[in-house]
Structure formats: structure tokens, C-alpha cells
């Protein structure tokens, strides 16, 4: 299984602040995905990035895929309490398999 | 229909019981998966089904037995489990050979083995 490291593991910020979390690997992935998971629920797909250097925006969330397709970042602008959750990155390592990082637990305080 | 439905949502079973977890999707996905997730850990792949055939078993103990009766259904049969098997069991589906649209996960079954 390919190793994906996410940092920071835990982040607590005030409503309205900006934050960035990271997903890094020594391996190259054909695609990388970001999911958000809330307690007791399954992960929900936010975005898939495929091309090195790609930037995708989803409202206040900005996702970037590294040029070498080994790492990615998620930036949230003006965080809201509804952004609270566990953010998981996952890399496609073939045969329809995804390897998940341990996640970034984000808490946005009203 | 863009959902994956898992039943039951919660299950408590004894170590000598036999139970089954069920998963259903109607998105036309031909790949289906079982993942296990312990508290504060990422999901870990257990099984992959592709076109209703088991394609990957990630060295899962035989007390877990998957079954894919048709392209919409995926079951996980449980027998003689241990307390350490308590976890959130997640079912997911996707297109085969193209993960650009990612996995669609169900809400999971919270399993407690007593």
C-alpha cells in the first residue's frame, strides 16, 4: 500500500480564518481525491485531481495537485463551522484501489 | 439514484453469532468494495469486486466472507468474530477502471462484537 501522510493531524481555528492542510507521498498517483467524513458517516467525495499542477475550486475550498503528482493541498478560505470534519486524501494506486491518508481533523469554532 | 445504502446502521453481535451486512447501489457501478475503519484511523480496504467477481482480498481473515449476488448488491457475512473486529464497516462503489469520479460510500454499519 502506498503511504500518504497528512498534516497537520488536528487543526482548530476560529470562524472566518483561513487554513491549509497537506497530503504528501513519495509515490506518484494517477489521481488523488479529497473526501470529507463526519462522525458515524461514510466519506463524501469533494474533488478528484488528475493533472500535475492542477488547481480546482469548490466554493471556498481550493485544491492543488503537485507538479510531480505526489502531493496535494487543500485551502479553505473564511472557514465556517460547517467545514468541520475529517478531511481524507486518497491516492489511486491501480486495480480500482484507493489508499487513504490518516486524515486532517479540522474544527471550526463559531 | 446517487446513494449507497447500507443496512443495518448498527449491529451488536456475540462472538458465536452469524450475521450479515448488506449494501445496495443503483448507480450502475460495476466495482464494489468493503472497507473497515477503526476509530481515528483511515479506512482500510478489505475486498474489491469487479463485475460481480472478487478481484482483491487484502488478506482478510476467513471469518469475513463477502458475496456479490448481482451488480447492485454486496454482502459481508460475519462468523465467529473477535472483539477487535468492532469497527465501522463501509461499503463503496465506483466505475471500473476509472476513479476520476471517485468512490461513493455508504454511511456504514457500526459493528460491536461482545
Picking from B43, B68, B97, B101 by the largest number of A CB atoms within 10 A of its own CB, the best residue to mutate is B43
Q: What is the mean pLDDT of residues A78-104?
A: 92
Q: What is the mean pLDDT of residues A91-100?
A: 87
**The dihedral formed by the CA atoms of B35, A43, A72 and B38, expressed in degrees to the nearest 10:** -50
Q: Are A20 and A71 in contact, with CB atoms under 8 Å apart?
A: no
Tell me how far apart the alpha carbons of residues B5 and B25 are, in angstroms, rounded to a whole number: 6
Residue with cell 503537485: A66
CA distance B107 to chain A (A): 4
Interval A4-48: pLDDT, tens: 999 999 999 999 999 999 999 998 888 899 999 998 899 999 999
Does position B22 have pLDDT exceeding 90, yes or no? Answer: yes
Q: Are A50 and A30 in contact, with CB atoms under 8 Å apart?
A: yes
- Nearest Cα neighbor of B75 from B106, B114, B39, B96 is B106
Picking from A51, A96, A97, A103 by the largest number of B CB atoms within 10 A of its own CB, the best residue to mutate is A96
Residue B107 and residue A42: Cβ atoms within 8 Å? yes
Q: What is the mean pLDDT of residues B36-45?
A: 92
What pLDDT score does B27 carry? Answer: 92
Q: How much is the mean pLDDT over chain A?
A: 93
Amino acid at each position: 500500500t502506498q503511504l500518504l501522510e497528512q498534516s497537520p493531524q488536528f487543526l482548530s481555528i476560529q470562524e472566518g480564518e483561513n487554513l491549509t492542510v497537506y497530503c504528501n507521498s513519495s509515490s506518484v498517483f494517477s489521481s488523488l481525491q479529497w473526501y470529507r467524513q463526519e462522525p458515524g458517516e461514510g466519506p463524501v467525495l469533494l474533488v478528484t485531481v488528475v493533472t500535475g499542477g492542477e488547481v480546482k475550486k469548490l466554493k471556498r475550498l481550493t485544491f492543488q495537485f503537485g507538479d510531480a503528482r505526489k502531493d496535494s493541498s487543500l485551502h479553505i478560505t473564511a472557514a465556517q463551522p460547517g467545514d468541520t470534519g475529517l478531511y481524507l486524501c486518497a491516492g489511486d494506486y491501480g486495480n480500482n484501489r484507493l489508499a487513504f491518508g490518516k486524515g486532517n481533523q479540522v474544527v471550526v469554532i463559531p | 439514484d446517487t446513494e449507497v445504502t447500507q443496512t443495518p446502521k448498527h449491529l451488536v453481535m456475540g462472538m458465536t453469532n452469524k450475521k450479515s451486512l448488506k449494501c445496495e447501489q443503483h448507480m450502475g457501478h460495476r466495482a464494489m468494495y468493503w472497507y473497515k475503519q477503526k476509530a481515528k484511523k483511515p479506512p482500510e480496504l478489505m475486498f474489491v469486486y469487479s463485475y460481480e467477481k472478487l478481484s482483491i482480498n487484502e488478506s482478510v481473515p476467513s471469518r469475513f466472507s463477502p458475496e456479490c449476488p448481482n451488480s447492485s448488491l454486496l454482502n459481508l457475512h460475519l462468523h465467529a468474530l473477535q472483539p477487535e473486529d468492532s469497527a465501522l464497516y463501509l461499503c463503496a462503489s465506483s466505475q471500473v477502471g476509472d476513479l476520476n469520479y471517485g468512490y461513493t460510500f455508504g454511511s456504514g454499519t457500526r459493528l460491536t462484537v461482545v
